[in-house]
Amino acid sequence: MAHGTTPDGILGKVIGLVSLFAVLPVFSLSMPLSFMFGSPSCWGFGEKYRPSFSYVWSKFMTETVMGCRLKLVGTRALYKDGPCVYLSNHRAWADFFIDMYLTEGRAFILSRFAVAYVFPAFMLPAMWVGAVFAFKRGKAGAHEELNNALDAHFKTFTDFSGFVVYPEGTRNTRPKSLPLKRGLIKYTHSRGMDVQIIIGGHKEHVLSEQRGSASWGVEIPVGYSEIISSKAFIGDFEGFYAEVKRAWELEWDRVYGEKDRPTRPYHPKVQLVEYTNGMSVLLVASSALCFVAGIAAVIWCVTLAAAAMPLGVALGAARGA
């Protein structure tokens, strides 16, 4: 079954690989590019509240760059009445912008620090505003250190009321879920936070380093679960974990099964935040650097073409002789 613009078979693999290489430069510069070309605009300096960076970036990548078509399964919507941990299925690189968009930019994403070395133009601004919590894989048993760092992140970046967790612990493109890891579910229970499960289908067809493929216009069925309150399971982590697992499996079946089909197109609502001076500086500086990099790229291409022109003329003359 074809997803988006990438057909099945060998031709599809070739098109998907070419598309991946074409979109990676855009992805690497996607944060400043979203500031310049994203909608809604971040540039209303006279307004007290403006769209959050995380919302503008995630919408730009999901809808503008990759052309994803979100379809809501069922009638439940995003929970936003208090601190919440959103459990999502991890399929590919596309998860990061799709899942942030599905939380309306209200949740930050956990990512390994190594990603900052691969995509610094995206990761450094995202880390600056708190949209990404970058961590280094530590020694076994360092859970409390991570938990304390998450507490500090919440206190520092108050625009975020939750974060996205991939409880399977690794990318999984199989039709069935992997067992859920307990670590950050324990954190959620210990902090008395609510949980909502958000399952998105076919995300691996959008942008995937594992598949070596990218495609435009993929339809993404999305399901939001009922809310699970850890306060209803005080002193009973096993009961809380069992309820999370039950809701996870139910939502997975709703999205990937045949019982419930997508009901309507879905566009997450914009989140407005009050901009700090630092955010305004970041907005201007990163956009300016992206503009300069674009001009430099154009000059480099023109120079390369001009340098190749005499060689082409010489080869043409040699053939004529």
Confidence at residue 120, expressed as pLDDT on a 0 to 100 scale? 83
Report how far residue 285's alpha carbon sits from residue 262's, in angstroms, rounded to the nearest whole number: 41
Written as six digits, the tokens of 64 are: 């503008």
Check: CB of residue 164 under 8 Å from CB of residue 90: no
**Best CA proximity match to 281, nearest among 130, 125, 58:** 125
Please list the residues that pair with 224 across neighbouring strands. 198
Confidence at residue 121, expressed as pLDDT on a 0 to 100 scale? 80
Q: pLDDT tens for residues 74-113?
A: 889 999 998 999 999 999 999 999 999 999 999 999 888 8
Helix axes 143-156, 183-190, angle to 10 degrees: 50
Which distant-in-sequence residues (6+ apart) come within 8 Å of 17 by Cβ? 212, 213
**Best CA proximity match to 171, nearest among 97, 81, 90:** 90
Q: What is the dihedral of CA 245, 172, 123, 205, to 10 degrees?
A: -120
Q: pLDDT tens for residues 240-270?
A: 999 999 999 999 999 988 655 667 899 999 9
Confidence at residue 293, expressed as pLDDT on a 0 to 100 scale? 78
Average pLDDT over residues 17-31: 89
